[in-house]
């Protein structure tokens, strides 16, 4: 076997078995590092969740900051939710009307659209919009505070940053998103009435009465309950990603992007679980 000569700077060729062993060990190390990073991220997520829950039930609740965050959450998304709610009703009505007309069931259109909006389309679409608008805003805002060391300054001054920064935002999102969903549902039904009038005149009072007669308590209650979980998930994930952002300036954009992706994923998963639980109980 050739011996390595530092003067020649030539690395001796290794047998194929040794090369494969080296590649295998490198792959094992990479996979181990990925697994370690994953479990560390899960541990940090759970720890941040427990600290947030503890701060929610602590004394000296920041009520003024909570009200300010409620205003910001509603004010930021209200125009977008308005347009989206009307468009959802229009699209569902325009697409469903020809199919129901083929079966002579156009009279079922108000109830079908109202059920679709209240049970699924309104909550999920509104939550996804809020995940993109509110979640990214919280992630970018807290991420910039992390980069500029404002959070570190709060910790040095004996101020709990989770109680002051995270708790008001999480509770504001938890409270305001159900209200925005109800607002979007109402606009969706109005948009459905406008869509029904495109190919014929439909009485407004008759359309609304048929729509609300199709909605029962068992339809409305689960849909409202799951929106609170949507809001809590969006607010918590946005704050978590911003609070745990890196030190570089590019980490602010990364935190905002990850907030949107992870919050949207959680909204879909929570909706899946809520549908399964509702199907079992009702």
My answer on whether 33 and 131 are in the same domain is: no
* 204 alpha carbon, distance to own chain's centre: 35
My answer on whether 24 and 109 are in the same domain is: no
- 8 A C-beta contact, residue 139 and residue 238: yes
Q: Domain of residue 229: give its range.
A: 61-281
pTM of the entire structure?
Answer: 0.84
- 8 A C-beta contact, residue 133 and residue 76: yes
pLDDT at 86 over 90: yes
Is residue 4, in this structure, part of any structural domain at all?
no
What separation, in Å, do the N-terminal and C-terminal C-alpha atoms of the chain show?
76
Q: What is the per-residue pLDDT across 102-145, written as a single tens digit (0 to 9) for each?
A: 888 888 889 999 999 999 999 999 999 999 999 988 999 998 88
pLDDT at 55 over 50: yes
My answer on whether 25 and 53 are in the same domain is: yes
My answer on whether 190 and 120 are in the same domain is: yes
My answer on whether 214 and 254 are in the same domain is: yes
Is residue 21, in this structure, part of any structural domain at all?
yes
Is residue 256, in this structure, part of any structural domain at all?
yes
Q: What is the per-residue pLDDT across 176-219, written as a single tens digit (0 to 9) for each?
A: 999 999 999 999 999 999 988 887 788 889 999 999 998 988 88
Is residue 265, in this structure, part of any structural domain at all?
yes
Residues 6+ apart with CB under 8 A from 7: none
Could you give the number of structural domains in the chain? Answer: 2
Average pLDDT, the chain: 86
* Predicted confidence band of residue 15 (pLDDT cuts 50, 70, 90): low
């Amino acid at each position: 076997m050739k011996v390595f000569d530092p003067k020649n700077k030539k690395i001796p060729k290794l047998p194929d078995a040794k090369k494969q062993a080296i590649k295998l060990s490198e792959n094992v190390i990479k996979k181990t590092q990925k697994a370690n990073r994953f479990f560390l991220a899960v541990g940090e997520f759970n720890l941040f969740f427990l600290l947030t829950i503890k701060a929610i039930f602590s004394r000296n609740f920041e009520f003024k900051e909570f009200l300010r965050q409620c205003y910001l959450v509603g004010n930021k998304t209200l125009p977008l939710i308005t347009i989206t709610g009307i468009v959802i009703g229009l699209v569902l009505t325009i697409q469903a009307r020809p199919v129901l007309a083929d079966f002579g069931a156009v009279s079922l259109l108000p109830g079908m659209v109202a059920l679709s909006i209240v049970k699924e389309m309104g909550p999920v679409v509104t939550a996804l919009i809020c995940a993109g608008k509110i979640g990214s805003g919280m992630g970018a805002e807290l991420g910039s505070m992390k980069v500029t060391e404002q959070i570190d300054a709060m910790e040095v001054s004996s101020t709990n940053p989770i109680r002051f920064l995270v708790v008001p935002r999480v509770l504001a999102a938890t409270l305001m998103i159900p209200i925005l969903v109800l607002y979007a549902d109402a606009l969706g039904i109005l948009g459905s009435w406008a869509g029904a009038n495109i190919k014929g005149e439909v009485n407004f009072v008759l359309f609304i009465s048929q729509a609300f007669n199709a909605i029962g308590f068992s339809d409305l209650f689960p849909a409202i309950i799951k929106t609170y979980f949507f809001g809590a998930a969006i607010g918590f994930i946005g704050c978590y990603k911003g609070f745990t952002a890196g030190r570089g300036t590019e980490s602010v954009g990364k935190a905002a992007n990850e907030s949107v992706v992870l919050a949207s994923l959680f909204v879909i998963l929570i909706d899946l679980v809520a549908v399964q639980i509702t199907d079992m109980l009702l």
